[in-house]
Structure 1
Amino acid sequence: MDLFSRSWSALLAAVADLSDEDFARPSGCTGWLVRDLVCHLVIDAQDVLITLATPTAEEPTRDAVTYWRVVEPPTGDDPLDALIVRLAAAYEQPGLLAFHLDDVGSAAGRAAALADPTSRVGTQDQVLTAGDYLSAYVLEWSLHHLDLVAHLPEAAAPPAAGLRYARELLEGVVGTAFPASFTDRDALLIGTGRRAPTATQTAALGELADRLPFPVG
């Protein structure tokens, strides 16, 4: 719960610090500019609010690790991805998009802070405790924070504790650990296919290199 709040707050602060020009720069998400990524974060925040407002008495079917699945690598052809690009462009002024994210994002953060971690919520036809659901999102926030700053070297990095936990989640999803020589950032970027490993890193990966990447969704 605490890592959710810290990771989300850091991501919102990083977006708030962007200049208008930064919104037109590429992000770490294939085919998306920074403005497209920020628009996606608005939808993410809405999802958090909707899920926390969808209580259920059913038994949990997923936890923070099994919430995620390894999916097909993104191609840019997904209809929702295309919708996000059009929606982001419709804002016209970056400040309007940033304001919308701050507005709905702050509400999502408050809802998360007030949530009972033992309560159960429903999302995507699955049931989780609120604590597991919010913990799962540390992976989402950490990856997208890395995406946000991929081409913005002066921007603030994600919290180290969030990156460490996000790595643990990713390793749980794929069922194996990345080499100890990998930083948490490297493990997340290389593991999800956002960056190719160097020759030295490929050697350290061993047979795991043949299984890369592990895009999650």
Structure 2
Amino acid sequence: MNLFSLAWTALCTAVAEVPDEDFEQPSGCTGWLVRDLVCHLVIDAQDVLITLVTPADTEPTVDAVTYWHLAETPAGEDPLEALIPRLAAAYGEPKLLKFHFDDVGSAAGRAAGLADPGALVSTRDEVLTVGEYLSVYVLEATLHHLDLIARLPSTTEPPAETLAAARASLESIAGTPFPASFSDRTALLVGTGRRTPTEAERAALGALAERLPLVLG
């Protein structure tokens, strides 16, 4: 729960710090500008709010690791992903998009803080505890924080604690650790295909290099 609050607060702060003119810069998500990414984050915040008020009365079917599946759809080809740029453009001005994300993002953070971590909730036709669900979003928020600042070096970095937690989650999903020589940021970027590994990094990855990138769906 604390890690979610840390990751989510840092992400919300980073979005608020982005100058309006930088909303037209490319993000770390293939094919998306910063404005498109922030529009996606509005949907993420709505997802958190909806899930936290969707109780389940059956046993958990997934946890924070098994919630994820490795997708085969290339970035930008999912129908919802393709819709995002059009939605983002409809806002017109960056300040309107910032305002909407601040509004729903703050509400999502407050709702998470009030939630019972042991309560069962339902999302994507799966059941898991609130604590496990928010752990999912530690990885989600940290990756998108890195996407946000990919070409904006002056913007606040993700906290070290959430980078480490996100790396641990990705290693659990992969079923194997990344090389100890990799920083947490490098493991996340290379592991999810946000950056191509160097020759030295590929050598350090060994057999794992053939399984990358891990496209999380």
Shorter-chain-normalised TM-score: which range? over 0.9
Q: Which residue does 1:92 correspond to in 2?
A: 92
Match of 1:76 in 2: 76
Aligned to 1:195: 195
Pairing 1:159–2:159 present: yes
Q: Which runs of 4+ in 1 moved over 2 A?
A: none
TM-score w.r.t. structure 1 length? 0.98
Deviation at 1:44, TM superposition (A): 0.3
One-letter amino acid matched to 1:189: L
Q: Which string of whole-angstrom CA distances, capped at 9 and with x for unpartnered residues, describes residues 38-91 of structure 1?
A: 000000000000000001121001111111111125342221112111000000
C-alpha distance in structure 1 between counterparts of 2:153 and 2:110, whole Å? 30
* Counterpart residue number, 1:139: 139
Query: Is residue 119 from structure 1 mapped to residue 119 from structure 2 by the alignment?
Result: yes
Match of 2:33 in 1: 33
- 8 Å CA contact retained: 1:70, 1:174: no
Following the alignment from structure 2 to structure 1, what is the Cα–Cα distance between the partners of residues 115 and 12? 20
User: Structure 1 CA distance, aligned partners of 2:75 and 2:142?
Assistant: 21
Unaligned ranges ≥5, structure 2: none
Instruction: Provide Cα deviations, 1:181-207, integer angstroms capped at 9, x if missing partner.
Output: 000000000000000111111111111
The size of the alignment, in residue pairs, is: 217
The amino acid across from 1:63 in the alignment is D
Maintained 8 Å contact 1:38/1:97: yes
Q: Is the 8 A contact 1:15 1:98 kept in 2?
A: yes
TM-score using structure 2 length = 0.98
Report the counterpart of residue 52 of structure 2 in structure 1: 52
* Structure 2 match to 1:206: 206
| Equivalent position of 2:176 in the other structure | 176
Rounded Cα–Cα distance in structure 2 between residues aligned with 1:60 and 1:75: 29
Residue 7 of structure 2: SS of its match in structure 1?
helix
Point out the more displaced range, 66-75 or 128-137.
66-75
| Identity between Structure 1 and Structure 2 (%) | 68
